[in-house]
Amino acid sequence: MVLAGGFPGIEVIEAASMEEALACTEPLLPLILLDIQLQGISGLDGIDLLQRRWPEARIVVLTSLDAPETAREARARGAHGFISKSDTPAEMVAVVTAVLEQDVPAEALPQPEAMPARLTPRQREVLELLCQGLSNKMIGRRLELSENTVRVHVQATLAALQVSSRSEAAFVARRLGLVR
């Protein structure tokens, strides 16, 4: 539902297991949204299999396991993005959009000066504190938000800036003049 709402006209093919997904006869899959808690072969263990079957596909891991280690492990195994099931639909669409845009020619990507407009005022506040090196817990205390809410804002900010780590976000934010 989230994908259909964010990408009108999208065709969604569903599979209940890794085995069922690998049996799909579709020759080209631009995006694979992968739940890591699957029956049989886990999503994390299946990333490599999916990449071999559809090397051009962008793989975004979807999970209720919000631990940072899970996201790091998914990226280390080749995932292009990470979405928590607790993210809002807008944040999910932002992550998918950022991942898909990585395959678009550079001239079709938003120009750096256009990128700051994609951040909400709250994301800008979180980015400012993130660039100061504060943890999610400390950012939450400063902004009077829960640590989980801060994590969601950090993830959406990373997606909007099209980066995969806090340090990359700080570098891009400084380069674009988003922070002092």
How confident is the prediction for the chain on average, in pLDDT? 81
Report the C-alpha gap between 170 and 69 in whole angstroms. Answer: 20
Query: Which residue, 107, 125, 150, sits at the end of a domain?
Result: 107
94 shares a domain with 5: yes
- Residue 132 DSSP one-character state: T
Is residue 131 pLDDT above 60, yes or no?
yes
Q: What is the mean pLDDT of residues 108-116?
A: 40
Report residue 55 CA to chain centroid gap.
Answer: 19
pLDDT band at 66 (very low <50, low <70, confident <90, very high): low
Is residue 43 pLDDT above 80, yes or no?
yes
- Residue 169 DSSP one-character state: H
Is the dihedral angle over the CA atoms 107, 110, 114, 116 positive or is it negative?
Answer: negative
| 109 or 157: which leads in pLDDT | 157
Domain boundaries, position 73: 1-107
CATH of the domain at 132: 1.10.10.10
What token pair was written down for 102?
């990585």
91 shares a domain with 116: no
Model pLDDT, residue 63 = 83
Q: Is the pTM of this model over 0.85?
A: no
Q: Where are the alpha helices (DSSP H) in 54-161?
A: 68-76, 89-101, 121-131, 136-143, 147-161
